[in-house]
Structure 1
Amino acid sequence: MRRDELLDAAEDLLCDQGSAALTLAAVADRAGVSKGGLLYHYGSKEALIKGMVERLIEDFDALLAAQPGDTYTERYLAATLAAVRSGRLRRWAVVTGASGNLFLLAPLREAMTRWHREGLSEEPDPVASQIVRLACEGLWDVASHDPELNTEADLQALERRLKALIKPSPA
């Protein structure tokens, strides 16, 4: 069994039954492996949660790298909207909600710091870029709890308005 399949099983369990149901035995059962098979890859529940958090970061980094745009903030906005449109938010909401342990969420805090500081000083308007990045966080958070809130037309309107904020002023 591959590590991603074990992480998928853990995320599905979290979505279906909540964090109280996240036990190694339940994850192994959901994945169709022995508990020993799970322990081979993840020696503890904490290691499993850490693996889920690390995968979230890797996924968003890859999504961010794949986006077009002249500035980091343009790519960040595009990656956020791609995540919202694809439904990837469910994964973020359940995984971050699974850990009340700040130590386990430390890699996510570090990634957030990196995402929000990256290239900010090189942006044409660093304040506008910061506003757009913070708006992305708000959109991400709200959409993870209410994915039906915004229609595609709503997302397109938000995208146009946020892009207008970071468009350099004509000289």
Structure 2
Amino acid sequence: MPPSKPSTRDTILDAAETVVARDGSGRLTIDAVAAEAAVSKGGVLYHFPNKVALLQGMVTRMMAEIGDEIAASEVRAKATGEPVLALVFQDMFNRTDAHDSVSMALLAASAEHPELLDPARQFLSSTFQRLAEETPDPIAAQILLLAMDGLKLSVLLGFNHIPDHQLQPIRDRLLSKAREIYS
């Protein structure tokens, strides 16, 4: 059976991600997305009546993807006996640069519309709280989750206080500490 064709909504969101990854959030316009998606401007506006709605759609989809990745980590942890937190860390660290450019664009857009990140804040807060509470040491887990967030944000914002050659050893140490919580 051939793979199913993405919905027009997903095609539009893919195009929006491409525009922000390639050109930056300042160049995200309905016209640019329509051109990239090869749909009419009216087609974009049917699904997303304005740029803010488009950005909200991008945030919602990103949170759904992260939720799916965390759920997959939990399933793998149960199947393999690995600590859930370690697998979540692994998956979050392995998110691609394309995701990072979209994350940066959404972060930039949130300066103008801070409410755009409310769903992300709520989702990550409740998910990380749940993950921490399911460990033998919830406080240590929260510290590690904060460290992961800080590392990801530092890289995302281009802070260069951590040399590139130290990123992997830091990630490895965080993964090791996440495993230690369970022992």
Report the TM-score range of the alignment, normalised by the length of the smaller protein.
0.7 to 0.9
1:60 maps to which residue?
A: 66
What number of residue pairs does the alignment pair up? Answer: 166
CA contact under 8 A between 1:54 and 1:107: conserved in structure 2? yes
* 1:96 lines up with 2:102 in the alignment: no
Identical-residue share of aligned pairs (%): 31
The runs of 5 or more residues in structure 2 that have no matched partner are: 1-6
Can you give the 5+ residue segments of structure 1 that lack an aligned partner in the other structure?
A: none
Q: How does 1:91-170 map to 2 (within 5 A)?
A: 91-99=102-110, 100-146=112-158, 150-151=164-165, 154-155=167-168, 157-166=169-178, 167-168=180-181
The answer to whether the 8 Å contact 2:135/2:182 transfers is no
| Matched position secondary structure for 2:90 | helix
Query: Alpha-carbon deviations, 1:65-122, whole Å to 9, x = none?
Result: 2224444422321221221xx3232221122322321222211111121232113233
Conserved? CA contact 2:15–2:36, under 8 Å: yes
The Cα of 1:147 is off from its aligned counterpart by 10
Residue 14 of structure 1 pairs with residue 20 of structure 2: yes
Quick one: distance in 2 between partners of 1:71 and 1:78?
11
- Is this contact kept in 2: 1:11–1:91, CA < 8 A? yes
**1:81: which partner in 2?**
93
Alignment match of 1:36 (pick from 24, 33, 42): 42
Shift of 1:145: 3.5
Deviations 1:6-61 (CA, angstroms, capped at 9, x unpaired) = 11221222233333322212221222211111112112212111100001101111
Two-structure CA RMSD over aligned residues (Å)? 2.5
How many Å separate the matches in 2 of 1:106 and 1:168?
A: 30
User: In 1, distance between residues paired with 2:159 and 2:136?
Assistant: 32
Structure 1 segments of 4+ aligned residues over 6 angstroms from their partners: none
Q: Distance in 1 between matches of 2:84 and 2:159?
A: 25
TM-score, structure 1 as length reference: 0.82
**Residues 32 and 45 (structure 1), Cα distance of their counterparts in 2 relative to 1, 3 Å cut:** same
CA distance in 1, matches of 2:55, 2:84: 29
Structure 1 Cα separation of the partners of residues 118 and 154 of structure 2: 22
| Contact kept? 1:6, 1:38, Cα under 8 Å | yes
Report the TM-score when normalising by structure 2: 0.77
Moved more, 99-108 or 159-168: 159-168
